[in-house]
Structure 1
Amino acid sequence: MSTVLVIGAGGVSSVCVHKMAMNTEIFSDIHLASRTKRKCDAIAESVKAHTGNDVATYEIDAEEVPAMVNLISKIQPSLVVNLALPYQDLPIMDACLEAGVSYLDTANYEPKDEAKFEYKWQWAYHDRFKDAGLMALLGSGFDPGVTSVFTMWLKKHKLKTIRTLDILDCNGGDHGQHFATNFNPEINIREVTAPARHWENGEWVETPAMQVKTEFDFEAVGPKNAYLMYHEELESLAKFNPEIERARFWMTFGDAYITHLTVLQNVGMTRIDPVKYQGKEIIPLQFLAAVLPKPETLGETTKGNTNIGCIATGEALDGSGEKTFYIKNICSHEAAYKETGNQAVSYTTGVPAMIGSAMMVQGIWSGDGVFNMEEMDPDPFMEMLNQHGLPWTVEELDGPVSF
């Protein structure tokens, strides 16, 4: 049994803490901290109502390293679970190093002043964590996270090598809002409006944002337009699977979302550089995020399913030639809300954060240094997905899928 400290109090954190409290044989003491303590208190109250278990709460600015070190030293956790904003990854890693505790997150670092998702800043911490005898696990969400584990499971059990990989992320849910994002609005919009990139023949190929799309018929959702985007697991998948000729990431968006986003871009509301307003500097995207519905409030009204998976083509492990496999999870928004009070987009990230934490605190996944999900044995993680609300299926397709 282990003591854990979770940083952040959004929808993903709520799901993760609920699921930890449902597994007290693994997580004996759960502590939750964020900049706004009342959000932590609300999660703790929900956890108490759902599970009967207590969660201790704290107020902390995750970018204040000395304060983080003091909090970690007070709690003495075996793991810090970073479910805050990606801007805060590095200061939390610094605090973990100073306090002597291992680290886990769900999204890679990006600077505040540039929408640039890269692992290089966190990979640079490898030697420091190794020398300290600590482990840092990066990207234990769904994408990145489960999609990386899906890929490595296929490579372990079905394919000797992977030639092409397509990750498909479909949210078929309807939240009843004119315009809302299903996870942090600021991060979501920065991600969507950034240029698309995919890996092909040993290099990155860049295309304008939201310009390349395909239609795909998603089980339990139906036909949806999926847009080519850049997503951080492409970088780690390409690094740890150098034989991949092409790796792409696709995400679905409805026409209404695209229309709203286009208008907001055209009027400057997605800018991340400061502008003067009534003598004060504001960042338009942060102001927009403040007026949009909070993702954690959408659970009760969201209906439908998510469908997220990977289609991989490569040389079959049994020597029978080239084969294509499709591995995926389908998650119900209604079921996620009933269990944790959150919609499925938060659920599909929060559950893998709990599972990755369980892998670490139980010593099932271990090592000194900074690691990505692709470097770990996929089997125990995949087993826990089936046990804790994210069951997966795998099927062989007739051949490669044309996009």
Structure 2
Amino acid sequence: MAKVVIIGAGGVGGVVTHKCAQVANTFEEIVLASRTKEKCDAIAAQLNRPIKTAQIDADDVPALTAFLETEKPELVINVALPYQDLTIMDACLAAGVHYLDTANYEPKDTAKFEYKWQWAYAERFEKAGLTALLGSGFDPGATNVFTAYLAKHYFDEIHELDIIDVNGGDHGHPFATNFNPEINIREVTAECRHWENGEFVTTPPMSEMQKFECPEEVGTYDIYRMYHEELESLTKHFPTLKRAQFWMSFSDNYLKHLEVLENVGMTGIEPIEFNGQEIIPLQFLKKLLPEPSTLGPRTKGKTCIGCIVKGVKDGKERKVYVYQICDHQACYAEVQSQAISYTTGVPAMIGAKLLLEGQWQKPGVWNMEQFDPDPFMEAMNQYGLPWKVIELS
């Protein structure tokens, strides 16, 4: 039995809160905190058990530390913005609390997805006897565990990895993003990097495309190669990988809108002056776009996210695909959220559960693939993200 503080009341925060509330024997007490307390209260009103809500600014380390010292949780689940990872880690260290997040830190002024800032905390967390679990979402998160699971059970050595994230959902808007527009657009417009023969190779964003047919009649989609943070940790922790790539599906409609917005400067992150005040174009655009948490009731279709791994077993080459299919409407019926938030929020709860129960607790800063994948895979089947493994020719 444990107490957790969840920071962040967006789409993912809502799912994490719902899923933790369902597992009362682990999450005895839940505190949901955000800059906007009303958002926390709205999520709390959806639950069938009482939780506490609070207003907190995750950028304010002294205030957050004092809040954690008062609440005394065992763990903070950080589903705020990636810019706030380090301030929340600082507060956890100061207050003596375990830490978990779903996305790596990135500085506000550069679209840079790197683990170096958080890995630098390893010694401090180890000395404090605290665990920091990084990237416990789906990608990163479940995809890291998928890779570790295949490496453990299906291969003697893994050589090639393709992480493929397909969202076959339709929300009916001309243009909207399925999670925080600022983070989403920064991610998509960043330079692509993939791992090839011992180094990262840089190519222009969205310059490599192929068709991908999802299993179980989800459909065929255009997938584009892009950089994603789990490549950095997976290539470090699986040194036999000769090539590792991340692919995501985008519709022509999404890409057309994005291209126009880029061309007119609306995706910029440098401040510009407008009517005597500074604004950041991308933050202004975020205000104009539909709030991702409102997409749940109107999104239909499925997601299909998985890993294709090639390697060697008993001297023979083999190729294996592990994947998970999620239905947007089924997710909404369960937790009032679409599948993008659901597939991120459920692994955050599972990672938290394994950490609190001691199976994944070890002082230091860790990525998902550094722990035993089996209990996580088992929990995915149990808590709403059933997966399958198939052999490919």
Q: TM-score range by the shorter chain?
A: over 0.9
1:232-265 deviations in Å (ceiling 9; x for gaps): 0000000000110000000000000000000000
1:278 aligns with: 275
1:361 to 356, 362, 372: 356
In the aligned structure 2, how far is the partner of 1:265 from the partner of 1:39? 31
Identical-pair percentage: 60
Q: Does 1:251 pair with 2:248?
A: yes
Corresponding residue for 2:238? 241
User: Structure 2: which amino acid aligns with 1:321?
Assistant: K
Please state if 1:194 is matched with 2:193: no
Count of aligned pairs: 392
Indicate yes or no: 2:226 matched with 1:226. Answer: no
List alignment gaps of at least 5 residues for structure 1: 399-403
TM-score normalised according to structure 1 size: 0.97
1:147-199 alpha-carbon deviations (Å, 9 max, x no partner): 00000000110011111000000000000100000011000000000001000
Deviations 1:311-369 (A, max 9, x none): 000011xx150100000000000100000000000000000000000011111111111
**RMSD of the TM alignment (CA)?**
0.6
Match of residue 346 from structure 1: 341
Q: Name the structure 2 match of 1:328.
A: 323
Secondary structure at the aligned position of 2:350 is classed as helix
The residue type equivalent to 2:334 in the other structure is E
Matching residue of 1:392: 387
* 1:102 paired to 2:98: yes
Q: Of 100, 107, 125, which residue of structure 2 is paired with 1:111?
A: 107
CA distance in 1 between partners of 2:176 and 2:236 (Å): 34
| Among 121, 124, 137, the residue aligned to 1:128 | 124
Runs of 4+ aligned residues of structure 1 deviating over 2 Å after TM superposition are none
What residue in structure 2 maps to residue 7 of structure 1? 7
Paired position in structure 1 for 2:27: 27
Tell me, in whole angstroms, the C-alpha distance in 2 between the residues paired with 1:190 and 1:54: 37
Pairing partner for 2:373 from 375, 378, 391? 378
SS of equivalent to 1:137 = strand
**Structure 1 position 292 matched with structure 2 position 289:** yes
Answer with 287-296 or 245-254: which moved more. 287-296
- Alignment partner, residue 148 of structure 1: 144
Distance 2:370 2:102 in 1: 15
Match of 1:401 in 2: none
> 1:9-44 deviations in whole A, cap 9, x for unaligned?
011110010000011011000000011111111111
| TM, length-normalised to structure 2 | 0.99
2:258 corresponding residue in structure 1: 261
- The Cα shift of 1:55 comes to 1.5
Alignment correspondent of 2:62 = 66
- Residue type of the alignment partner of 2:5: L
Question: How far 1:221 moved relative to its partner?
Answer: 2.2
> Which whole-Å CA distance do the structure 2 matches of 1:19 and 1:201 have between them?
40
**SS at 2:158's partner residue?**
coil
Deviation at 1:218, TM superposition (A): 1.2
Q: What residue is the counterpart of 2:37 in the other structure?
A: 37
The SS at the match of 1:300 is helix
1:308 counterpart residue number: 305
* d(CA) in 2 for partners of 1:82, 1:3: 14
Q: Distance in 1 between matches of 2:177 and 2:50?
A: 30
Within 2, Cα distance between the matches of 1:264 and 1:70? Answer: 42
Cα distance in 1 for residues equivalent to 2:50 and 2:226: 40
Aligned-partner Cα distance in 2 for 1:348–1:77: 25
